Structure 1
Amino acid sequence: MLKHTYRYFLLIFLFLSGCQDSEVAPQQALTLEEEQSLLGNPSGATADESNYNNYLMTKPQFALSYSRDRGTPNWVSWHVSRDWLGSAPRQNNFRADPELPQGWYRVTTSSYTGSGFDRGHSTPSADRTKSEEDNSATFLMTNIIPQAPNNNQETWANLEDYTRDLVQDGMEVYVVMGSYGVGGTGDNGTARTIDNGKVTVPNRIWKVLVVLEEGENDLQRINTGTRVIAVDTPNSNTVRPDWGTYRTTVDAIEQATGYDLLSALPVQVQQALESQMDTGPTR
């Protein structure tokens, strides 16, 4: 009898011990700034003024690497979830970013006047509608690039709408967007710069989306089966409206830019995700 009782309590002890070992430690709460750069810092940007062409800026709404000489962001990263979407109206208050270091040239909305290029958002206005303050942040010129109107208003708009559709369907999306090269084609033809040479017109515009079901511990939930969408488009008015035709791999974007995307993920997961081209739905 004692032998059987001992075995019974031993089994209970082992069961409870196993339950404790299998528990996943909860992820510490992230600041809003940490949330926007959860997937890593693609260019190793720093908040050092001497690093003027790879200057790190972190805001509650998005994070970015800024190039003083180009007058545009190198890349911008942000998180899209239901919590960021609300009813705040579009503020439309394009303006210079006061957080740039003193003495740096500050691009203004008038820098784009008559250029033939749109003031193209990196983090879209419609991705930040929780509050007027959040929406207003997307109109800082450090979030803006010279974008061919058809690229901005058709191809890119369709991809942005699709991203928010995913969120409304119960997903959350981590996004990194950037541009590279020199020379795009807008309403006035091809140009290498605007604003008397102070703002570079990029040749290519890219975006990477990491799509997850809503949940917690987002970084830990990304695995080799996670959907990753990589897109690389020409900055031209002749671009096709279907963004799906411009899908590529993260590896290809890294090769073109020299960046290390998704660097916060384990190497094995990075390698698997970055080599695959998405074939999922586009609407």
Structure 2
Amino acid sequence: MFFRPKFRTSQRYTRRGFRLRGNTLIILFGFFMVGLFLHYKGRTEPVVAFWNDVRSLLGIGRSTHERTGTNPYKAPEPTTDEASDDRSSGTDSAESEASDSQSGSSESTGTATRSSEQRTSGKLFDFEKQVDFILPSGHDDDELVRHDGYTLRYDTDLKNPLWVAYPLLAYEITGDADRDTERFVPDPAVDGGTALPSDYTKSGYDRGHQAPAGDFKFSQQLTRQSFFMSNISPQAPQFNRGIWKSLEEQVRAWAFRDGGLYVVTGPVLRKGLPTIGRANEVAVPDSFYKVILYCRKGASPDIRMIGFLLKNEPSDESLKAFVVPVSSIEQATGLDFFDKMPDDLERRLKMQSRSQMVSQWFD
């Protein structure tokens, strides 16, 4: 006997509203990431920084290093009775200045890699490829500390960085990172301990950034790390907010114009300096320096170096007045900058006169 199979009566389903089918969300996300990658011209670092900031906002996927690097010292700093680092407007003006500059003209191993892969020229001199090329030599007994955005050597006796070194790339000085949400905190990476924010209370000195927060606006995490006390030195308020701020803005403008620079900066330290501090004796430097290097390899190679040495006091002078041979800064600090360069090139760059450096960088 033949039985006709029974079929279930078909039912009609209706869909209300808009719904994405299958893998549409995944595809859209993929297109978004590709677009983001293309927006940054194939450079991976800003894409990674964007993803890290998204993770930070969502509170997911943070590493142990990130948790231990920020949470233990999150107590608010004193705000009512100490000389503050009131410079939030400086980053905005620096970004505007950098944009004007662009329109006017068309360490870690990780840090070295960041510099190497992101240079606008796409080519490096052999000496740039060496590990820790950017780090000065000298005072090697002091503690070496590596962070994501910069590397430093810290004097735990004087509670100051000897130097802070980092590559500064054009895209890093623009972004939405907010320095006003951050607080100065001790650096958990320094075994010997850093100064405390309270050491500056009623001292009459600002907590002066060496690697400024404005150099890391593309990432909130790197901005946060710039507030570690290992990156801070006592600076006279009108110096910090005046000529030193102007120099930081000028360096950012050059980085925007040229695509990228190497920066080494810090205080000039010596025994017998006056000190401030409640829990620690923090040496107050007489002066501060910056050494800037630009390298471009290609059909028309270009290597430029310039040094600045400034007294820790207010000044109405032009920045050009503080340009000095880099060899003079080496004599004052006992450091050797960019010593992995060929000797003849290193000697020539470090012995240049003020007029030569001013014409190369300012004109």
Tell whether the structures are fold-level matches, with TM greater than 0.5. Answer: yes
Give the TM-score normalised by the residue count of structure 2: 0.59
Aligned length: 233
Q: CA-to-partner distance for each residue in 1:212-263, whole Å, 9 max, x for gaps?
A: 45xxxx7x9997x5221100011123x3352221110111111111111111
Change beyond 3 A, Cα 1:75–1:156 = same
Aligned partners of 2:162 and 2:269 also within 8 Å? no
The answer on 1:145 being equivalent to 2:233 is yes
Q: Residue 161 of structure 1 is aligned with which of 239, 249, 268?
A: 249
Matching residue of 1:208: 291
CA shift, 1:75, in A, is 0.6
Aligned partners of 1:80 and 1:173 also within 8 Å? yes
Q: 2:259, 2:186 → 1: CA distance?
A: 33
Higher mean alpha-carbon deviation, 132-141 vs 160-169, is at 160-169
Q: 1:242, 1:109 → 2: CA distance?
A: 31
2:138 alignment partner AA: S
CA shift, 1:282, in A, is 4.3
CA shift, 1:82, in A, is 2.2
Flag the structure with larger Rg.
Answer: 2
Give the TM-score normalised by the residue count of structure 1: 0.74
Aligned partners of 1:182 and 1:192 also within 8 Å? no
Q: 2:299, 2:239 → 1: CA distance?
A: 33
The answer on 1:173 being equivalent to 2:253 is no
Q: CA-to-partner distance for each residue in 1:104-156, whole Å, 9 max, x for gaps?
A: 34312111111111100000100011111010000000000001112211111
The answer on 1:88 being equivalent to 2:188 is no
Matching residue of 1:279: 358
Tell me, what secondary structure is at the counterpart of 1:255?
helix
Matching residue of 2:150: 62
Change beyond 3 A, Cα 1:114–1:183 = farther
2:345 alignment partner AA: V
The answer on 1:32 being equivalent to 2:103 is no
Matching residue of 1:136: 224
Within-5 A mapping of 1:78-117: 78-85=166-173, 86-90=175-179, 91-101=181-191, 104-117=192-205
Q: 2:300, 2:211 → 1: CA distance?
A: 22
Question: Which protein has the bigger helix share?
Answer: 2
Higher mean alpha-carbon deviation, 128-137 vs 77-86, is at 77-86
Change beyond 3 A, Cα 1:155–1:111 = same
Q: 1:39, 1:221 → 2: CA distance?
A: 24
Aligned partners of 1:100 and 1:106 also within 8 Å? yes
Matching residue of 1:72: 160
Change beyond 3 A, Cα 1:251–1:106 = closer
2:239 alignment partner AA: N
Aligned partners of 1:156 and 1:243 also within 8 Å? no
Matching residue of 2:79: none
Q: 2:312, 2:274 → 1: CA distance?
A: 11
Matching residue of 1:12: none
Tell me, what secondary structure is at the counterpart of 2:358?
coil
Q: 1:259, 1:222 → 2: CA distance?
A: 31
Aligned partners of 1:183 and 1:203 also within 8 Å? no
1:209 alignment partner AA: I
Q: CA-to-partner distance for each residue in 1:162-192, whole Å, 9 max, x for gaps?
A: 11112222431101012124599xxxxxx81
CA shift, 1:31, in A, is 4.1
Question: Which protein has the bigger strand share?
Answer: 1
Change beyond 3 A, Cα 1:159–1:147 = same
Q: 1:282, 1:176 → 2: CA distance?
A: 19
Q: 1:166, 1:143 → 2: CA distance?
A: 22
Matching residue of 2:324: 248
Tell me, what secondary structure is at the counterpart of 1:75?
strand
